[in-house]
A and B are shown apart, each in its own frame.
Chain A
Amino acid sequence: MSETEAAPRALAAGFGRLIVLVYVVFAVSAGARALFQVATKFGEAPVSFTLSAIAALIYLVAAIAIIRGAGGLALLAVGVELAGVVAVGALSFAVPHWFPEPSVWSHFGSGYGYVPLVLPVAGLAYLLKRRKA
C-alpha cells in the first residue's frame, strides 16, 4: 500500500488500535477498583485510592484523545501518565506508609505486571512517531 496515496490514517488505526484497547481496559479496571475502594474503605488509604481514581481518569482521557485523533491532548495525557507512574512508583518505595494499599501506579505498576510503566512509553513512542510521519 502506498503511503502517499492513502488517506490520512486515523490515530486509532494500526498499532494505535491496540493501544486504545489497553487504555480502555485500564481506565475501566482502575476506575472500577477506585470506585469500589473509595466507597468501601476510603479512610484506610486515601492517597492510594485517590491516585487510582486520577490514573483511571488519565487513561480515559488518553483513550478518547487517540480515538478522536486529538494528537496534542493524547501526548499531554500520556506524558502526565508517564510522569505519574515514575513519581508514584518512586514515592511508594521512598515513603511506603503513604501507600498501605496498592494503587495502579505504586511500585511502578508491579501489581499489574508493570504494564502501567510500559504503556505510556509505548504510547509516547507511537504518538511521536505518528506526529513526525
Chain B
Amino acid sequence: MIDWLYLAVQAAALAMSAWFFVDTARSQLVARRHFVGVAVLELLLLVQLAVSVAIVPGEAGGGKALFFSYLVTTILVPVAASFWGSIDRSRWGIGTVAASGLIVAALMLRIHQIWELQIHV
C-alpha cells in the first residue's frame, strides 16, 4: 500500500462521515451533494484497488485473497449504504450513509494491518 494514498482514503472516509453526521443533526434528507461525496470516496477506493492489483501480487507474504476480499467488501459498503439510506424519509437516511464512512475507515485499518503483517513482509 502507498502510505499517502491510504491516508487520503482514511481522511476522505472520516471527512465524509463527519459531514454527513452534521447533516444528520440538521435533519437533512439524502440529496445530490451527498452522492457526490460518496462518489469521491468511491473514486479513491477504486484507485486504491487499482494500485493494489498492481503491487500486491508481487509481494512476498500470503494473505492476498484475504486482502482483496476485504478491499472489495470495503468498496461495496458505501454503495449499499447509499441505496439503503437514500430510501429513508428521515434524518437517519443520511445518518446511515454517515455510518458507512466509519465502517470504511475501520475496514481500511484492518486492510492496512493485513498489508503490514501478512503481505509486505
Give A contacts to B, CB under 8 Å: 13-18, 20-22, 25, 28-29, 32, 36, 112-113
Contact, CB under 8 Å: A21 / B99: yes
By the criterion of a CB under 8 Å from any partner CB, how many residues of chain B are at the interface? Answer: 19
Given contacts A28-B73, A113-B106, contact A18 B95 (CB under 8 A): yes
Report Cα–Cα, A32/B92, bound state, in Å.
28
B106 neighbours in A (Cβ, 8 Å):
112-113
Contact, CB under 8 Å: A21 / B81: yes
In the complex, B117 has a CB within 8 A of chain A: no
| Chain B 51-78 interface 0/1 with A at a Cβ cutoff of 8 Å (1 = within) | 0000000000000001001000100010
Grouping DSSP codes into helix (H, G, I), strand (E, B) and loop, the A interface class, with mixed when no group exceeds half, is helix
Q: Besides A13-B92, A25-B103, A32-B69, 18 other CB < 8 A contacts?
A: A14-B92, A15-B95, A16-B92, A17-B84, A17-B85, A17-B88, A18-B92, A18-B95, A21-B81, A21-B84, A21-B85, A21-B96, A21-B100, A22-B103, A29-B73, A32-B73, A36-B66, A113-B106
Give B contacts to A, CB under 8 Å: 66, 69, 73, 77, 80-81, 84-85, 88-90, 92-93, 95-96, 99-100, 103, 106
Grouping DSSP codes into helix (H, G, I), strand (E, B) and loop, the B interface class, with mixed when no group exceeds half, is helix
Q: Give the residue of B77, B84, B89, B92 whose beta carbon is less than 8 angstroms from that of A15.
A: B92
A17 neighbours in B (Cβ, 8 Å):
84-85, 88, 92-93, 95-96
A14 neighbours in B (Cβ, 8 Å):
88, 90, 92
A13 neighbours in B (Cβ, 8 Å):
88-90, 92
8 CB-based A-B contacts, threshold 8 Å? A13-B89, A13-B92, A17-B85, A17-B92, A21-B99, A25-B77, A36-B66, A113-B106
- Give the most central of A14, A18, A28, A112: most B CB within 10 Å: A18
Query: Which partner residue on chain A sits nearest B99 by CB separation?
Result: A18
Report Cα–Cα, A20/B84, bound state, in Å.
9
The 9 A-B pairs with the shortest beta carbon distances in the complex, nearest first, are A14-B90, A18-B96, A17-B96, A14-B92, A15-B92, A17-B88, A21-B96, A17-B92, A18-B95
B26 → chain A closest CB, angstroms: 16
